[in-house]
Structures are given as structure tokens and as C-alpha cells.
A and B are shown apart, each in its own frame.
Chain A
């Protein structure tokens, strides 16, 4: 079983992930149509990646009135567009903002893990987003935390 590990401290705000996500899914470069979103404000110093975490007990699956969301062999929760009626219930109920609306096509969209090889991860040069086996992921999250602490310690900020 794999999961995303996201470390906002490593996100530079370059948005290669957004550009390549739209390129993979829509065959065009258009960050506004990406499944991954970087909440970014260079003036306030914010770069925060937001993406569907493929929950164990996904709210989107529970609330979908037409059962359009299923799980594929990679554990991705996929929207079946032959069923989806675009009611946005999943968009409204997802507590982490993982489901969104494509502003061009109007379709409800979400991360589908690119057939098990998320392109955002491939293009992320700083490893702000990784896709790892959960046992490794646990170690990575702990390491990221401790590195953050050590950095703060070294800078004299704690």
C-alpha cells in the first residue's frame, strides 16, 4: 500500500506539478485544470500542496448519490464519468479539498494517481511530494519532522 508524503517546507512554489498534471490528464498545460493545487502566496510566504490523499474511508465515495466513485487496483478513488452527474457533493464534502471542478470542462475532477505513477511526484525536484509504501512513508514523515526541528535548532529559533 502506498501513500503521498507531502512536506510543504520543501515546496518551492514552482508548480511543475500543476503544469504536468494538466498535461497528463488534459493534454494541455493549464495549471488551473490540475488535480494537485499549490496554495501559494509569495508575499505572505506560503507554498502549500493540496491533493486527494485517497482516504481509507473516503467521504466522496460515501456521499456520491449515484455511486460514481470506485477504487482501482492502485487504491485510487476514480470518478466514473458515465455515472457522474456533476452534482459537486464530493467537492463540498471533501474535508481536504481533494475533489475539485475543472474550470474549463466543468467536470468534477480528482487525483487518479496516474495509473500508479503520479506525474507530479516525478516532476517534483525537491521531493516536496513523494509517493511511497506506507512503512517507508512513516519513516519519511518522522525524518522530515526531525529535520525541521534540527534546522530550527541550528538557526537558534527554538
Chain B
């Protein structure tokens, strides 16, 4: 049965494991993936626990539909208390780890403690083994995966691993699977490193039984065809996420030279998506994905000749592109490959590096502080600073602790130039022209982020009757409006939570394309696979419950309304460039307040953004109750 996967409670300090069934009641309340991950953390990680304490939990979850032949369900959710925000640290990873974890018998791993020496876990057919990883410590993420495969002697082993950045507890270190699949955000890799846990490997032969194989097969094919028929999927299939660059740099919402500009203008032309095609060897995909949004690329000539890699994604086009004033695909590809091997969130890394460059421009940092000059467009300087951060050398050791700690060290108003929310760096999108995007990064439970609620379809200016049908409320078509956008963001927060809890890929959801499958399609999918019946209202209620639980975790850890604002710069400085409708735009503080209030009301939270007792009892969320079992 799909529902008979287990949860393993693993105590690394004691070297002990207990496995348990996942009660059906919990499935009905949280589904799986992100939802269940946060059920375990909310209840077991109290506010006094610091991110690198052994008592912090590191939780891995497969979505309820992970590992099925449709909608890109190769997803894995990785959750912990984040070293960057001291609140929700949460990442969703593609690839093939989650599916293999399910075939090995597990849907969730709840890991606490700290191993005395480096270890890795091997999950196989319902068993968890804690293995020595001394020989793996120091290897990069690719070498580690190769070594594990060889050691186990099975080429179908999948592993999620940390690299140098995770070992060094760089606050934005990530977890990697395959060539480029990243559990990128929240600093999950640093927490894994703090537990002396180098890798989790799995291999399984346990059947995933579905309740109606015939109907499911037919419907899964129909779902894939529905996605592939959209213009969005066709574009993504060819260009991957770099397609977003063409829109953002032309329109003017791409952070440039840190966030001083909102587009490089014609200087940025070399990075247009179509120009990546000449590097391409072939398209590759995550497990269960018929879209294949990633390129396998090779650099044939020049300084970086010989690099063979996967990606890069849009994130990297900011990090080693516009944010640092480099407009060269060779460099983006090279930098991306390095990040993947280091095991570091390229998005956060880029934001921190470009911040340092602007501080250098403003003489808050000097050549003496850094050891060399930080001049826009200097590829070697970017790469060297990145390497220093990963290895915690020199000023890299300060930058590796993220914006909040580093800006305290640097002082001199440096925090103003750090583009983050809750200490979590923002994607290089520039949200000051689009209120719904700005609210989304501000209220995101994991701090600034585009994958928690971004209503990307807001930019299409869809007809209002169409939006009303989709969202269930009257939503203004005008993307520059503030009114009703609190409701739009609320809707997407719930919806993306369900997408993450099911383990479906967001690129095959209503994220960028209103014609992709959503609630109405998930209902039959859940029925044919798990046999469970849900209504749309019930699914939305689960989304609200899961989201509110994350919110409560942040509240209990000292966050509140003060942390629900986009970077100050977006209120102060108007867009200096871009198309006529984008140029000159910035956020309006008064209107933002009204939007935030509307958003709180929609969630059933009070004026300070705290869920009311009524809301909590309606959602059946109580105060945390520890339930990590005895592992003696």
C-alpha cells in the first residue's frame, strides 16, 4: 500500500533507530512530505533548541504521491530549524531520492542527536543501518555519491549528501542528490553537517501498491498530457528555467549589481535563454517527470573548457550573473557546477557575494578586509570569494554565517544592502514592482523565497472572471494593485503547501501556468493511489493547517509581524530601469500595510499576525507535545 510506508526515528547520539507506522489520522491531517515533516518538528523542537544543537531535528520526507509516473513526483522534502532564520528551515529537492526512499520502505526520517564520528545512513527494505563515513568526509557531493554506490555495490542506490559547505556548517549549505538536485534553501546541509551525518543512502524493492492501478495509469497519462499541452511546459522543456531570464531582464525585475538596478539592460543580452542551447548535450529530467526542464551541458572551449554539468537554473543566472555584473554563460555554468559539488545553495551564495561587492563599492569593505578587490564583473573575484565562503577562510568565515550575523560584524549600515527576509536571502528577482510577489517573500515561513507562494500568474493580467473561478475570490487583474493580493498570496501559500506535501513538482502546478493540474485533479489522483477521498475544501484546510503550523513554529521562536516585511530598499529606492510600466516603481508602505492586514485576516490571524485561538482550534493545532519515541 502507498500508505504503509514507515517513519524512522533515528537518534545519532545513541546510534539507535525505532521505526513506526504512520497513523492514517496523521495522513488525513497533514498528507505527507512538507506537511508531516513540520508536524514532527513543531512538536519536538522547542524554542530553546539552537539549530546546531543535537536536539534539533533533521527531517526527510517523501510526498504522498512521490515516486509515481506523473507530474514530476521525484520530490523530497528536507526540514529543520534553520541556522539562518532560527525558524522554519525547509527545502524541496528534485531528482530520485524520495522515490527510492519510498521503495526502501520509508516516507519519513526523523533524525536527532549528533554522531560521535562521521556516519551515513543506509536504508534498505525496511531497515536503517548507521555506517561509518570517515572515508567520505571531505569528499565533494559527486565523489561522495560515487563512493557510496561503489561501497554498497548497487548502481541503483540513491543518496542525498553534503559537501564541503555542509561539513563546514556554512549557514546556507545544502543537500544534494544526483548531479544538481538540491535541497537548496534554509541551510539544511549545515544542520546535517552539525550532526556529523555525511549522507543518507537508500535502495529498495518494496512495492508501492496503488488502490486502482488501471484507473491510475489512465489518469496519470492524462495528467502528463495536460501539462505537456501547455505553452509553459513546451517552453520549459526547451529552455528550462532560464526562460524566466528573458522576461525578467527585458521587463526589469532582475536584481543587478546586488539590487542597485533592476536589469542590466542590453549588457545582459548574452545570457538570454536561447544562448544556452549551444552548450547542450541533451535534456534530462527528475524521476516521474515528462517535462525535462534541465540541460546537460558541456563547455567546449575557453577558460572553463571541459566542464560537463547539469543545469544551470535561473537562480544561477542571478548569482553568478546579473547580481555580480557577469554576463557570460561559460561562467554561470562553471560556477553552478562548483556550487553543486560544494553543496551550497547557489541562490543564497550569490546574494551574499553580491552584497559583499556592493559593500566594497561603498567602501564599507576594503581590499584589506577581503584580500583582493571586488569589482563588478570580475569572475575570478566572484569564484575566489565563493571558495573562501565554502572553506570559511578569511572574510569568507564571516559571510558564511549569513546576512544577520555578518551585517552585525560589518556595521556601517551594511544591513540595508542585504536583500533578505528573516535572515534568508532572496532570489535575484526584484519584487519592488509587483506587490503580490513582495508580500509573498515577506510572509514566507522560510524567509525570503519565491517557492512558498509566488503567484507568478499575477503578471499575466488574467481576466478577473477567470481569476475568480480559479481562486474563489474576486482578485484584481492589475499586477501593480495591492488590494485583493493578500488573498492571492494566501491562496498560493495553501496550494504550494499541498503541492509540497504531495511531492508534486511546482513547475507542473498552477505556479506559472493556470492550466496545469491543481486541486480538482489531485482528488482523483489521491483516490486512485491511496484510496483516500478528499474534497477540495478538505485539501485547502490541510494546506491551512500545515501552513499555520509552520507559522506557529516561527511565532514560538520569536518571530512576528516585524518579520513580515520585504527588504527596506524596496520601499526606499525606485526601479531605475526597465519597461515604462516598471521603471520608477517601488513599494508603498501604507498600501503594503493594508495588504498585510488583508492577508492576516484571510488566514484567521490577529492584527499582529498571530493565529487566533479560534483559528488554532478550528485547525486542531495545539501547543507542541513531544512524541519522539524512546530509543533506548
Contacts and interface: CB of A to CB of B under 8 A. Distances in A.
Contacts of A32: 103, 156, 205
Interface string A54-88: 00000000000000000000000000000000000
B212 to A, nearest CB: 10
B288 A119 contact: no
A99 B443 CA distance: 54
Contacts, number: 111
Contacts of A23: 69, 210, 213, 216-217
Interface in B564-620: none
Contacts of A43: 142, 145-146, 178-179
Contacts of B292: 12, 14, 125-126
A42 to B, nearest CB: 4
Contact of A123 (B69, B142, B287, B310): B69
Contacts of A28: 207-210, 213
Interface in B66-94: 67-70, 74
Interface of A: 9-10, 12-16, 19-20, 23-24, 26-33, 39, 41-43, 45, 47, 103-104, 119, 122-123, 125-126, 154-157
Given A12-B285, A41-B155, A43-B179, A30 B308 contact: no
Nearest to A126: B292
A20 B103 contact: no
A125 B300 contact: no
Nearest to A31: B103
Contacts of B210: 23, 27-29
Contacts of B74: 14
A156 B289 CA distance: 30
A30 B207 contact: yes
B296 interface: yes
A16 B156 contact: no
Contacts of B287: 13-15
A125 B228 contact: yes
Contacts of A155: 278, 280, 300
B69 A45 contact: no
Interface in B104-148: 142, 145-146
B395 interface: no
B288 A14 contact: yes
B284 A42 contact: yes
Given A16-B288, A45-B296, 11 more contacts: A12-B284, A15-B288, A23-B69, A24-B213, A30-B206, A31-B103, A32-B156, A42-B310, A125-B228, A126-B283, A156-B278
A33 B292 CA distance: 24
Given A15-B288, A19-B288, A23-B216, A45 B308 contact: yes
A43 B290 CA distance: 20
Contacts of A39: 155
Interface in B146-162: 146, 155-156
Pairs of residues from A and B, 8 with the lowest C-beta to C-beta distance, nearest first: A125-B290, A12-B285, A28-B207, A19-B69, A29-B208, A14-B285, A42-B178, A12-B292
B247 interface: no
B224 A30 contact: no
Contacts of B70: 16
Interface string B274-303: 000010111111111111100010001000
Contacts of A13: 284-285, 287
A23 B529 CA distance: 11
Contact of B283 (A12, A16, A20): A12
17 contacts: A12-B283, A13-B285, A14-B285, A15-B288, A19-B68, A20-B217, A23-B213, A27-B209, A28-B213, A30-B205, A31-B103, A32-B103, A43-B145, A43-B178, A125-B292, A126-B292, A157-B300
Nearest to A41: B155
Contacts of A20: 69, 217, 220
A28 B467 CA distance: 38
Contacts of B207: 26, 28-30, 33, 104
B305 interface: no
A21 to B, nearest CB: 9
